[in-house]
Every structure is written in structure tokens, then in C-alpha cells.
Homo-oligomer: A and B are copies of this chain.
């Protein structure tokens, strides 16, 4: 398929007519497809169904002999901290196990920072005259942005490059002492799928920041979520920070939400000894201890890191075909047209698509007419405002493979139809879609 820009007006009009017929035909299929949410499919959750009867009859003692049913154990049981330490990238004694949502740990860290500050703070973040700001690599995760927005933290978008955030933009921004933190999904970023390159991790760890208490909120949500057998390698940010003389710079978060049960997994916080001490001091006001039985349940289910790796291989077998179907549909309809650029992620849960600028909202609206629910355009930007109106997030994990295939075909069709229309309008040709 040639680039739209190279088509004659007549050819463009002919293509528009073909696409209008395809749109009608697709609409006539009366599909109801949901591509909005990065949540595991039932088949993925089934992989962990053995946990529904764990830890098992009379099984409630930890290795250390604690009664996992009772109160206590604020940091989490040792065997769970060991099992998942690799996922966090911290020694087990610098890992804290939380409840079912790592988002909650990020929320709590921000809230405690606002009210009390973090190690190295001159004053609580909430008492900084003029407020504070967070760097937000874009496109990014809407629930991150919702937390910072919800607590009145200014958000500064910084562009992603394919190997992490644009370092020049970041280095410039952190000269402002109001910039206290940065949201990062360093591996298989949501939604771009990119993994921060080693030199990027190192630069973020080593760069000079005007704020002495600057923190990377390092949400390693997809630490073990490879779509290929040999996944991306992510440099260890805690090691990099320590090596650069900024040992307390990173708060690392991870979870088993997309490993075992999305609603009943474990979350993890890992950081420097000083940060872990700070975290536990605050968490100790909030709770006597975490749900240790769910920790034991996870330990009994996986046994060891090999068990975890084998399990993730089963996820991969279910997910990879869905991502392949999206890639195939986008390629079939859009390759060479210049109507879109899209990611070919090697892991994670999303395919990020940049459509023709100014058409993302229209694509979502047209997809809806075709029976396909998509994540709202703009959702990947702070405040829901994508300045170029071009980024879309496709979440292929939840629907069946057949549905993913159909939906991806419909989305590709909508993208091309909107691009053709925009091209016609740009040339002053053709009727605008009503």
C-alpha cells in the first residue's frame, strides 16, 4: 500500500469509498468487543487456579515458625520476600510485601512524602512553597497520573524515545527543585512497550537533581512479563543509584497482579535500607501487618523462581498470539500508508499506536461505531490531554484471540479511514465525515 500522501486526489477518493464500504460491512457484523483494559484473560487467571485451595489444610506456618494466620510481620514473610526479590531487584531484606495492589504502595509513598517528606527532605513535600511537580514520561499510565493529579502535584510530560525518557528533557526539568519525582514504567512501558536502555537507567540514577529528595517512582509492573522467551534486560536501578552515590533515589514497585490473580496478588516495595526503614515506619502506623496467608499461598504455589518462570511461560503462550494478531491486522491495513506508527512490544500488556495527528479521538469514536470499545484517546497523557491527539492504547490481553483479531482489524480500518479523511480535508478535497 502506498503512502496516503503520495496518492492522487482521485485515488484518495477511491480509497475513501472502499473504506466507507468496509466500515459499513464491519458495522453490519454487530460486534461487541472491549479492548480498553489491561487485564488478564480468564484463561490466564485459570493458570493460578490451584491457589484457590491454598495454602491448604493445616498449612499456616512460615519457615521461621510464625503463625501466618495471626497479626504481625509488617515487612512480609521471609520466604515471600526471597521468592520475589529478583522481580524487585533488591535483596530480600530490602523488600516489603504489601497487599494486592502495588498502586496502593505508590499512593501511600506519595501521601507520606506529602505529609512527612522522605529521607533527605528538608520539609514535607506538601509544605513546599509553590507546590511540587512530577515528571511524566508520555504516553504513560493513566492511574499514575490520576494519583499525582489527585494530590495536586503538577505534572510535566517528558517524551519517550523508544529506549526510555528523553534524557535532555529530564535533565533540564530536574534543575527545578520543585520537581520531586518521576513516574517510570521501565520495562515494557505502559503503553509504549519500550524498555529503558542501560545508559538511560544509569543516567536517571546519576543525574544531578535540584531537589535533594528527588525520587524515581519505578513501577516495574512488567518485570517478568515477556512475550518472547528471551525478554528485555532491564538494568538494576537500585544498584545504579547506589553506584552513583544516590542510594535513596529509587522507590521500586512490583506485583503479581498479572502473574497470579489480578485482584488477589501480592505487591512489593523495594529500596535502599533508609527508604525501607522510612516505609516501614509509616506502614507501621497504618497496619499491624499484611495478609501473610496470601504470601504463603504464593510461596506454596510457585515453590521457587523456576516455578515462577515456568508459570510466566504459560502466560506468554496465551498472550503472544494476541499481540501477533494485532500486529498482523495493523500491518495488513496500514503498512506503508503513513497513517500510523505502532509498537511491536516484546512484553507487557499494550500496543501503543500513534495515528495521524488530530485523529485519535475520531478513531476511538469510529471504532465505537464498529462495536469496539477502546481506551479513550488522551488517557495516556497527564490530565487526559494528548496535545497532538495522536496516541491510542490497544489492550489485547482480555478478549479471546478471535475477538482480538476482529477488533484489531476494525481498529486498523478506523485508523486508515480517519487518516484518509484528514488527508482529504488537508487538501481541501472530499466531504468531511458527518
Contacts and interface: CB of A to CB of B under 8 A. Distances in A.
Contacts of A70: 39-40, 42, 45, 261-263
A264 interface: yes
Interface string A49-91: 1001111111110000001111111000000000000000000
Contact of A286 (B55, B103, B257, B264): B103
A97 to B, nearest CB: 12
A129 to B, nearest CB: 14
Contact of A262 (B55, B69, B286): B69
Contacts of A291: 99-100, 263-264, 291, 294
A22 B78 CA distance: 44
Given A40-B70, A290-B100, A150 B285 contact: yes
Contact of A55 (B52, B143, B282): B52
Interface string A220-254: 00000000000000000000000000000000000
Contacts of A282: 150
A286 to B, nearest CB: 4
A101 B287 contact: yes
A262 B66 CA distance: 13
Contacts of A45: 60, 67, 69-70
A289 interface: yes
A385 to B, nearest CB: 19
Copies of the protein in its oligomer: 2
Interface stretch (A107-115, A159-167, A331-339): A107-115
Interface string A120-157: 00000010000000000000000100110011000000
A67 B111 CA distance: 31
A146 B282 CA distance: 11
A37 interface: yes
Nearest to A71: B262
B52 A58 contact: yes
A104 B287 contact: yes
B42 A52 contact: no
Contacts of A67: 42, 45
24 contacts: A37-B71, A39-B71, A42-B67, A42-B70, A49-B58, A52-B56, A52-B59, A52-B60, A53-B53, A53-B56, A69-B264, A70-B261, A71-B262, A73-B263, A99-B291, A100-B287, A100-B291, A101-B287, A103-B286, A108-B286, A143-B288, A263-B288, A264-B293, A291-B291
Given A68-B263, A262-B69, A263-B290, A285 B52 contact: no
Given A52-B55, A291-B100, A285 B69 contact: no
Interface residues of A, number: 55
A183 to B, nearest CB: 14
A292 interface: yes
A107 to B, nearest CB: 4
Nearest to A112: B111
A43 to B, nearest CB: 11
A114 to B, nearest CB: 6
A70 to B, nearest CB: 5
A356 to B, nearest CB: 32
Smallest CB-CB A-B distances: 5 pairs: A101-B287, A264-B293, A107-B286, A69-B261, A53-B53
A263 B71 contact: yes
Contacts of A108: 286
B53 A294 contact: no
Nearest to A102: B287
